[in-house]
Chains A and B, each alone.
Chain A
Amino acid sequence: MTMSMTGPMTMPGAAETTPLLELRDLCLSFQRQEHVAVDRVSLKITAGRTLGLVGASGAGKSSIARAILGLLKPDSGEILFKGENINRMNPRQLKMARQRIQLVFQEPSASLSPRRTVEQTLLEPLQHFAIGSAHQQREKTLQSLQTVGLDQSALKRYPHQFSSGQQQRIAIARALVTSPELLIADEAVAALDVSIQAQILQLIQQLQRDFGITFLFISHDLAVIRQIADEVAVMYRGQVLEQSPADRFFSRPAHPYSRILLTFAGGGTPQNWTSDKWNLERNRNAGHRAAACVFAGFCPEKMTVCENTEPVLRYIQQADLHGQGPHCVKCHLYDEVESNEYRENEL
């Protein structure tokens, strides 16, 4: 994967590029601020890489995806696509941006319009964005279908005539038809059988390799994330608690919540896990005290400071020259680590 150096170098030795997508302090809530879905989230997604966004349901992952596509309006904060603020774009720029960002949903049968043929579904984005002539559009739809492993015979058929694996391929083909730079997959394989899931993941790997498409891959399944993500970000109750390069995340996760998730994913139970601790998702709407760590209620390594002060997102490792992304964590356990301190790659 190539990384080009653009933009100002903000610190000595660090490779800094304009991220393809950046979220700055994004806030989003429902029901007039009663339910905070996204709580001051900052994320950077580098072009050509795949960011896996993990967390339990209700953590805010899907809300972020929808906010990026303009389906939900954030309360505050910025969404920058290639450096430009999406909310400040004029309609023409917004249309261009929408072409470049596409979304694949969880339920393949639900995401395809039941009364439209595959051809109509694939042509719709091309026609809406007025990309190419009618002949070129037809070429593009065929190309997309071939990329996902289907052929021409699929064009005149309806979604319900395909299996769920094939339907998901069609959904991916629709996402590819506008040649997007960023593909957001929201639990795109969660509803599929394990052998179909493997086939779709293979397809995604192929898209990563052959087309260099940037992915924001949302999933609650850590094992799936392990297969395809370059970087991992963990969300809990609307906040990003840790963002780390994948290899480091899976071998040495920093945040206690990350460690708990990994233990459960591996089929184990964390130490000292008492029976009331498992209510991690209970009382989704019960606000935590504002000036406290959002995870304090359940953290096995909670300290007094965790209940009084909200931790700051600290960089415990900057992005390095070898292309590894930064490692940042929002936890009082790392208060000793200086923010923005650059360290040699110590692995």
Chain B
Amino acid sequence: MTQNTWRRLRSDPYGMSGLVLVTVFALLATCVWTGLLGHGWSEVSGGRYEGASSGHWFGTNLLGQDIFGRTLFGTATAFEVGLLVTFSSTLLGMALGGLAGWYSHGWLDEIILWLKGVLDSIPFYLFAAAVAYALQGSPWAMHLAMIITFWTTTARIIRGEVMRIKEREFIEAARAIGLPGLKTVFRHVLPNTFHILLVQGTIVFVAAINTEVILSFLGLGIQDGVSWGLMLAESSQEVLAGHFGNFIAAGTSLFLLLMGFNLLADALQDALDVRGALN
């Protein structure tokens, strides 16, 4: 099945360009993590607001830091935030959504739905601020706030899908031999939701990065290190004075990465859709 998916994906030009974009950025992020690039992001290596030059491809910012280096480091930050939030919230959403769907209309389902309702009702940015305050400015406050609220969308989708899957006969077959509920859910039901989780994961990734940008504007974002969000926040004042370095660097990178993910998500959804037009 994965071969077919890959083949379908390969034939989709938009999807492939999305994949290329994402891969390039992922490679850059890896280079930063392994220390190959971007480690000088906080160094003051030039004068203020220098323009683009051979030493500083994107010029320098207010403090004389190399914008290009900061952009590279921002790539790593983006992936850090994105991957951590995506994995955690997806796992959480899958588990809770799966349990809610399997025991649907039971007490566990009611509790999980209630929790979902509560979390969905809280204005997110207030919540993020509250978490930051509660954790006294810990750098992980932002990630935590996102994980705690992002799982609900995944859970809702998975719950609906699980309720559909559990009516199918291969689940009846598992129950017929007396397989316990939890085993059935994790062995038979949830693996059939992976295609949904994959697409949902790419969407959450995009949401996480977007959220980080706004949180950085609010000062609730990355505390240690630099991110494109922070750079954009910085640039909001600078562009008025005619310094576009930060804005162009961060804005373009953000746009490219997010567009790449969006294209990939759409293409994945089509490629994974087994009930295609030809069937």
Q: Do chains A and B touch in the complex (CB under 8 A)?
A: yes
On A, residues with C-beta under 8 Å from B are 66, 69-71, 94-95, 98, 102-103, 105-107, 110-116, 124-125, 128-129, 158, 160, 171, 174
- Tell me, yes or no, whether B83 is within 8 Å of chain A by CB: no
**Residues of the A chain whose Cβ atoms lie less than 8 Å from the Cβ of B179:** 124, 128
**Residues of the B chain whose Cβ atoms lie less than 8 Å from the Cβ of A106:** 169
| B179 (CB) vs chain A CBs: closest residue | A128
Give 6 A-B pairs besides A115-B188, A115-B194, A158-B1 with Cβ atoms closer than 8 angstroms.
Answer: A98-B176, A102-B176, A107-B169, A110-B168, A114-B192, A160-B1
**Residues of the B chain whose Cβ atoms lie less than 8 Å from the Cβ of A125:** 177
Please determine whether B176 and A69 come into contact, CB atoms closer than 8 angstroms: yes
**Residues of the B chain whose Cβ atoms lie less than 8 Å from the Cβ of A71:** 172, 175-176
| B172 (CB) vs chain A CBs: closest residue | A71
How far is it, in angstroms, between the C-alpha of A102 and the C-alpha of B177 when the chains are bound? 8
Please determine whether B170 and A128 come into contact, CB atoms closer than 8 angstroms: no
**Residues of the A chain whose Cβ atoms lie less than 8 Å from the Cβ of B173:** 103, 105, 111-113, 171, 174
Please determine whether B177 and A98 come into contact, CB atoms closer than 8 angstroms: yes
Q: Give the contacts of B157-207 with A (CB-CB under 8 A).
A: 168-170, 172-179, 187-188, 191-192, 194
How far is it, in angstroms, between the C-alpha of A111 and the C-alpha of B169 when the chains are bound? 5
Known: A115-B191, A158-B1, A160-B1. A129 touches B177 (CB 8 A): yes
Please determine whether B178 and A105 come into contact, CB atoms closer than 8 angstroms: no
Please determine whether B178 and A70 come into contact, CB atoms closer than 8 angstroms: yes
How far is it, in angstroms, between the C-alpha of A94 and the C-alpha of B178 when the chains are bound? 9
How far is it, in angstroms, between the C-alpha of A116 and the C-alpha of B173 when the chains are bound? 13
How far is it, in angstroms, between the C-alpha of A107 and the C-alpha of B173 when the chains are bound? 12
Most buried by A among B173, B174, B188: B173
Known: A113-B188, A115-B192, A160-B1. A95 touches B178 (CB 8 A): yes
Instruction: Pick 22 A–B contacts, CB within 8 A, sort by A.
Output: A70-B178, A71-B175, A94-B178, A98-B176, A98-B178, A102-B177, A103-B173, A105-B172, A106-B169, A110-B168, A110-B170, A111-B172, A112-B170, A113-B170, A113-B188, A115-B188, A116-B188, A116-B191, A124-B177, A125-B177, A129-B177, A171-B173
